[in-house]
Structure 1
Amino acid sequence: MDFRFSEEQEELREMARAFLSEQCGPEALRAAMQTTRGYDPKVWEKIASELGWPSIHVPEEFGGLGLGHVDLVVLLEATGEALLCAPFFSTVALAANTILEVGTDAQKREWLPTLAAGDQTATLAFAEENGRWDASGIETTATQDGDDFLLSGTKAWVVDGHTSDLVLVVARTPRSTVEDGLSVFAVPSGTAGMTRERLPTMDLTRRLARIGLSDVRVGREALVGEFKGAWPGLRRSLDLAAIALAAEQVGGAQRCLDLAVTYAGEREQFGRPIGSFQAIKHKCADMFVAVETARSALYYAACIADDGSDDLAINASLAKAWCSEAYFRCAADAIQIHGGVGFTWEYDPHLHFKRARASESWLGTPDNHRERIARLAIGLEE
């Protein structure tokens, strides 16, 4: 396994940072946060049509660039650093991965080219009000009615759920339990019986929605993959999403470290920069260690994803648990180093603090993932 970045990956990183610095700086970020949509459609159009980011890891046969998960992680680290407001994560890391892991070849040919081109946005509606991110949390039902299915239930914390053109709904057949009976259905926006409500969130850089399903009728063509057999593919897609989220967290943690070091070199007390004080040096050093260890866990998990190893599950959970805590620790320490201004609107640390706290819980908390690691290690989960 080669842990060195290729020349192309380094160029991708620099290109992404340059674009995000120019198009998604502090003023643009705050402007996007104030909109109902939650992002600037013009920026999304540039990301999709000019840069081709949504196509990065979609296979060439389905209209993508055919790159790997390491390449996607390089890109997501940059978007996490900039707190990108766009339907990139929902469309690429959630929806496209789910279609790739669960869908048939015919469905991949139908849906992936439009997602890769950015012509359509999509998201995954998995979690519900119970807050669980495993199969036991799915209570939404899919009842067969002739050749159709009736979907009923409520989905919560759906990223970009209020604006996505396509929602991939995870539901179970009545009286099925845990992994048994889970299916995925592609439901277009505007389908009768589906309601979408934007949720108030602490993190304004990422929009979440509640989706209500009241006997939503969909045809068999909406079924993604095999009826009642979606869980193995779903489990893998959730692991890939956890790695993708960990990439954003590493990028955010790096940004917090950079902000803290810069401020510590500029802010003076007692006639010298506060960065010269030992307590501040120790805090910055601890942040550096947190960032680098999190980055190591992240890229090892991404390499495992590209290699197709059976160790994906345990490494995805390790990356999500550690990167979540590293990001939150760095965000909190960045505020401490900034002092009172760290939580004012004009400075960025509070934005990262809110994103860190929100993403720590999303896709499973660190405790959830550590418990899963233990279950995998002793053979209670495959």
Structure 2
Amino acid sequence: MDFTFTDDQLTFREAISRFLMTEAAPELLREIWETDVGRSADLRGKIAEQGLTALSVPEAFGGLGMNDIAWSLMTQELGYYAIPDSLADTAYVAAGLLNRLADDHPVKASLLPRIADGSVRLAIGHPVNPLVADAALAEWLILAHGDDVHVVPRAQVDVQASASIDASRRLSQVSWAPSPDTLLVAGDAGRGLWAETLNRGALSVAGQLLGLAQRMLDLSVDYVAQRKQFGKPIGSFQAVKHHLADVASKIEFAKPVLYRAAHALAKGEVRADVYVSQARLACCDASWLAARQGIQVHGAMGYTWEVDLQMFMKRAWSLDPGWGDRALHKSRVAAYVLGDNARLGPGSTFEE
């Protein structure tokens, strides 16, 4: 079995990383955060030009036709550069939901090409999320009414802003009235679609948390190499080295868990829920440790606006409860591990 990423996936990741390195520098992000909407239409347009919004849209609708495995790399880049946008919700999670509809469905035919070219913003109100990201800025909202899936125009939704510790996370409570005109999928089909959407949303958050963890580690390593005490860089002290080595270990152990979950979701495996929840927990642990140790080595100044660490730390904290809190994901893993038919051990990682 080939466990490596394809050349196309790796080349695309490298191109996106180089692009975001120049177009999403921390000083530019601060300027965007301080605007009324907290979003940059110019940045989003440039990201679309790079092809990121088209990544998982089928070729028949103007996209690149890649799957969850490619997104496990891309979400890490969105996290690493703390992109102040719910781009993954539109281009990955919502696109995945729409991909499950029949090709001749009018909503699919209408929205997927616009997702690909970056001209539409969607917000998703999954039942596990009490608040909806970017609801006020979205053109359409995908919302739940019981098991039913509705696609609702922004004009029919009442939005009440809710504060977040992360200034770039624009969260809202939404109120709306379902109607036959907004119904997309009903009943059992809707329940299955919401379950798959939860997995995709949780995997999206997991990838972003892993990228955030890596960025916080890199910032901490740079800082301890420059800050001196007793005439020496503090990075030369053994205790500091151990703190950061613990973070690096967490990140490296979380990566294969994330990629295994992406593979399970892309292949429609029956235990995809378990793999996604395991990845969500592993990546969350890595980001929390990276934030905690980052503050440890920066000191209290790491919380201040002038220091870059606070941007990534706050993003990790605000993403932590998104798409299912720890209790939900722990319960999904526990239900499988403690079940009678659990297939555990290295010989059961992949089916033949």
Same fold (TM over 0.5): yes
Match of 1:284 in 2: 244
Match of 1:145 in 2: none
Give 1 or 2: higher strand fraction: 1
SS in structure 2 opposite 1:279? helix
Match of 2:148 in 1: 183
Structure-1 separation of matches of 2:200 and 2:326: 16
Match of 2:26 in 1: 26
Q: Is the 8 A contact 2:56 2:96 kept in 1?
A: no
Structure-2 separation of matches of 1:210 and 1:195: 8
Match of 2:132 in 1: 158
Report the CA distance shift for 1:337/1:94 in structure 2 as closer, same or farther (over 3 A).
same
Match of 2:315 in 1: 355
Deviations 1:31-65 (A, max 9, x none): 111122221111111112x1121110122123311
Deviations 1:260-290 (A, max 9, x none): 1111111111111101101001001101001
Q: Is the 8 A contact 2:145 2:178 kept in 1?
A: no
Structure-1 separation of matches of 2:85 and 2:7: 27
* Structure 1 residue 28: Cα displacement: 1.1
Match of 1:175 in 2: none
Match of 1:60 in 2: 59
Q: Trace 1:198-347 onto structure 2 (pairs within 5 A).
A: 198-213=161-176, 216=177, 218-220=179-181, 222-227=182-187, 229-347=189-307
Letter in structure 2 aligned against 1:46? K
Q: Is the 8 A contact 1:91 1:115 kept in 2?
A: yes
Structure-2 separation of matches of 1:212 and 1:18: 40
Report the CA distance shift for 1:80/1:372 in structure 2 as closer, same or farther (over 3 A).
same
* Structure 1 residue 98: Cα displacement: 2.2
Report the CA distance shift for 1:226/1:286 in structure 2 as closer, same or farther (over 3 A).
same
SS in structure 2 opposite 1:186? strand
Q: Is the 8 A contact 1:104 1:224 kept in 2?
A: no
Deviations 1:151-207 (A, max 9, x none): xxxx831011110000011002xxxxxxxxx1011001112xx21122111111221
Aligned residues: 340
Letter in structure 2 aligned against 1:230? G
Question: Pairwise CA RMSD of aligned residues?
Answer: 2.0
Letter in structure 2 aligned against 1:336? Q
Q: Trace 1:358-377 onto structure 2 (pairs within 5 A).
A: 358-377=318-337
Q: Is the 8 A contact 2:302 2:310 kept in 1?
A: yes
Structure-2 separation of matches of 1:274 and 1:91: 43
* Structure 1 residue 348: Cα displacement: 1.6
Structure-2 separation of matches of 1:380 and 1:235: 23
Q: What runs of 5+ residues in structure 2 fail to find an aligned partner?
A: 342-352
- Identity within the alignment, %: 31
* Structure 1 residue 227: Cα displacement: 4.6
Q: Which moved more, 1:91-100 or 1:265-274?
A: 91-100
Match of 1:97 in 2: 96
* Structure 1 residue 379: Cα displacement: 5.2
* Structure 1 residue 96: Cα displacement: 1.7
Q: Is the 8 A contact 1:264 1:274 kept in 2?
A: yes
Match of 2:349 in 1: none
Deviations 1:101-144 (A, max 9, x none): 4x3331322321112221111011123xxxxx2xxxxxxxxxxx
